Structure 1
Amino acid sequence: MSGCVFCGIVAGEVAAFRVADEPDGVAFLDTRPVFAGHVLVVPRVHLVTLGELPADLLPGYFALVRRLAVAVETGLGAGGTFVAMNNKVSQSVPHLHTHVVPRTKGDGLRGFFWPRTRYQDDTEAQTYADRIAAAL
């Protein structure tokens, strides 16, 4: 898609520190990493949200994400990884992308800075569960 920086990276028109370039997607270093080695994985086709990813592309795309999560941990000697995706809200580039962030114990990252809450009671929790299940 014209004007999309991630499409430009996929096409080789925009420079990036590539980690993987495969039929199922392209992975490259985030230019503003949470921690050094923070990788973004994008599908080759321009899609904005996970909901737009065709079912036939899911296995290959998420297999690549899984492989990157293992490679980031192994290659960097990280204690683990944080794998995340935003859909619309907080999506700085409107192209589907998955973050693979290396983690180490005591690195200071606290739940990716998400405020945590509690349900008022089990009834409220069940109501939310039911609404999501009904939407499936």
Structure 2
Amino acid sequence: MDCVFCKIIAGQIPCDKVYENGAVLAFLDIAPISRGHVLVVPKLHFQDLAATPAETVSAMMDALQVIAPAVLRVTHAPAFNVGINNGAAAGQIVMHTHFHLIPRIDGDGLQSWPHQRYGPEESAGLAKDIAAALR
């Protein structure tokens, strides 16, 4: 397999590891958005979140809950974002499910997504369509 994260997990490519358990490896991003930016990666290869079993996603979230307080203590950041770029159109570069833990400080210059508003009919129709797709 030609997956850079699989190679990191296999020890073929070095990383700056911050956490590891039986299901998850977490390491510093080599192109961090902020100081302390950590990637939380399942040890088994799944291309995206939809392909990742619920128990693996749960293990990743459990790891985030352990890692985040330590990252905040070390970086002195008061807050953080957790994100996933799921698919190429969303900015996913490595096609192996992973979460980003990004420490944040006031005035760091990082921006969030712009907020938009729905019209009342659009919102109701979209919610109805999504709910129907879940059935």
Whether these two folds match at TM > 0.5 is yes
Q: Deviation of residue 116 (structure 1)?
A: 3.0
Instruction: Confirm or deny: 8 A CA contact 2:23 2:44 kept in the other structure.
Output: no
Number of the residue aligned with 2:111: 110
The answer for unaligned runs of 5 or more in structure 1 is none
Instruction: Confirm or deny: 8 A CA contact 1:24 1:64 kept in the other structure.
Output: no
Q: Using structure 2 for the length normalisation, give the TM-score.
A: 0.90
Q: Using structure 1 for the length normalisation, give the TM-score.
A: 0.90
Taking the aligned partners of 1:70 and 1:123, their CA distance within structure 2 comes to 42
Structure 1 moving runs of 4+ over 4 Å: none
Residues 24-103 of structure 1: matches in 2 within 5 Å?
Answer: 24-88=23-87, 89=89, 90-103=91-104
SS in 1 for 2:15: coil
The answer for unaligned runs of 5 or more in structure 2 is none
* Count of aligned positions: 132
Instruction: Give me the CA root mean square deviation.
Output: 1.3
Taking the aligned partners of 2:59 and 2:74, their CA distance within structure 1 comes to 22
Taking the aligned partners of 1:109 and 1:20, their CA distance within structure 2 comes to 26
The amino acid of 2:127's aligned partner reads A
Taking the aligned partners of 1:34 and 1:44, their CA distance within structure 2 comes to 23
Taking the aligned partners of 2:19 and 2:55, their CA distance within structure 1 comes to 20
Number of the residue aligned with 2:5: 6
